[in-house]
Amino acid sequence: MGLSSKGNDVQPYRYRPALFFLLTYALSWIPWAAAAWFSHRSGMTPYNYLFSFLGLLGPFASALILIYGSGNSALKQDFRARLLELRRVNLFYLPITILLMPIATWLAIWLSVRLGRPASQLSIVPNLISMLPIMFLAPSFEELGWRGYGVDALRARLGMGSATLLFGLLWAIWHAPLFLIHRSYQNDLLSGSPLYVVNFFISVMPAAIIGNWLYYKHRRFIPAAILFHFMLDAVAESFAAEQFAKCIVTAVFVVVAAAIALADRKAFRESARNFLDSGQAIARG
C-alpha cells in the first residue's frame, strides 16, 4: 500500500517483509540449485560460475522489485537518499566500520599462533587480486537488498532487537544452498569438520547484530553497510587464516556484539518503527 491522502491524513507505506524474504530466497536458491547441479559435472564450470553469480543478485533484485514496483514515490526517494547522501555518514563510527574485522582477525590469528598454529596464517593469499571483484560485488548486491529494503521492512514490524535477531537467522538460512555447490567456500567447510559448518552459521548472528547497529548509527546509509560487509569478506579471504582462527574470530565478534548490545541497550530496545511514517515524502534517518 503506497502513500495516500484523504484531507490531511497520510498513510505510511506498508513494508512487506515476508514477501521480500520469500522472493529473495526464490531468486537466489533457484540459480544456486542450478549452480550446484553444474558444479558436479565436468566441463560445466562456466555455468556453475554464472548461476552462482545470478544467485547473489537475489536480495538486490527483490528490493528493486518491491521498491520500484510499489508506485510509492517516498519509498523510491528514500532508497535513493540512503544511497547517495554522504551527510548520513557518522564519522565517529567510521573507524569501527573499517577496523573491527582487521583487528578481530589479527587478534584471532595471534591467539591461534600462541596456541601452536603456524604463523604463516598472517601471509596474504597468492590469488588476492583475482578475488577482489567478487569481494566487492557480493557484499554490494547483498546489502543493496538487505539494507535497501529487508532490514527496514523487519523494523517496521518489530523492535530493533527482535528485528536484528530475526534478520540474522534469515540471513544465515539464505546461505544454505551454497553448501551444495562443489568447491564453494561453504562446500569446503562441509567437506571438513562439522564444527566449521556450525561456526559459519553462528558467525552470521554477531555480524548481523554489529552490522545493523552500524547501519542505524550511519543514519541508514547503505554504502556504510556495504563497507562493513566488504571488510568482513575481504579480510577473511585475504589472509591464509585456518578455520581454527576463524572460530576465534567468531568468538571475538560474539563478545563485541554482546558488549555493543549491553552498552547501547537503548538502541536495541527501540520499538518497531516505519521510517516512512512521517507524512513527508522522504523518510528521516
Q: What is the pLDDT of residues 228-249, one digit of tens each?
A: 999 999 999 898 899 999 999 9
Convert the pLDDT of each residue in 13-49 to its tens digit. 899 999 999 999 999 999 999 999 999 999 999 999 9
* pLDDT score of 278: 54
> Exactly one of 85, 175, 237, 242 is catalytic; which is it?
175
pLDDT of residue 281: 36
- β-strand pairing of 4-6 with 9-11: antiparallel
72 Cβ partners below 8 Å, 6+ apart?
2, 3, 13, 276
Q: How far apart are CA 131 and CA 71, in angstroms?
A: 38
- Joined together, the cell numbers standing for residue 278 give 512521517
pLDDT at position 128 is 84
pLDDT value, residue 220: 97
DSSP structural state of residue 8:
T
Which neighbouring-strand residues pair with 239?
A: 124
Has residue 10 got a pLDDT over 80?
no
Cα dist from 52 to 55, 72, 187, 209, whole Å: 5, 32, 13, 27
Express as a percent the part of the chain with pLDDT over 90: 83
Question: What does the block give as the cell for 216?
Answer: 542505524
Distances (CA, A) of 261 to 99, 256, 265: 19, 9, 6
Identify each DSSP E strand in the chain by its residue range. Answer: 4-6, 9-11
Q: Which of 40, 85, 142, 182 is catalytic?
A: 142
pLDDT band at 219 (very low <50, low <70, confident <90, very high): very high
Model confidence pLDDT, tens digit, residues 101-126: 999 999 999 999 999 999 999 888 88
CA-CA distance, 78 to 212, in Å (whole number)?
18
Strand-pair partners of 10: 5
Q: For residue 11, what pLDDT is reported?
A: 63
Direct distance between the N- and C-terminal alpha carbons of the chain, in angstroms, rounded to an integer: 21
If DSSP codes are grouped into helix, strand and coil, which group holds residue 239? Answer: strand
Q: Identify the pLDDT of residue 3.
A: 42
Q: CA nearest 2: which of 77, 72, 75?
A: 72
- What's the grid cell of residue 139? 557484499
User: CA-CA distance, 133 to 266, in Å (whole number)?
Assistant: 38
Least confident range from 85-89, 124-128, 200-204: namely 124-128
Domains of the chain, by residue range, sit at 12-268
Contact yes or no for 284/78 (Cβ under 8 A): no
The one-character DSSP state at 57 is T
Does the pLDDT at position 282 exceed 90?
no
Asked about 218 being catalytic, the answer comes back as: no
282 or 18: whose pLDDT is higher? 18
Catalytic: 237?
no
3-state SS of the chain: helix, strand, coil percent to 5?
Answer: 75, 5, 25
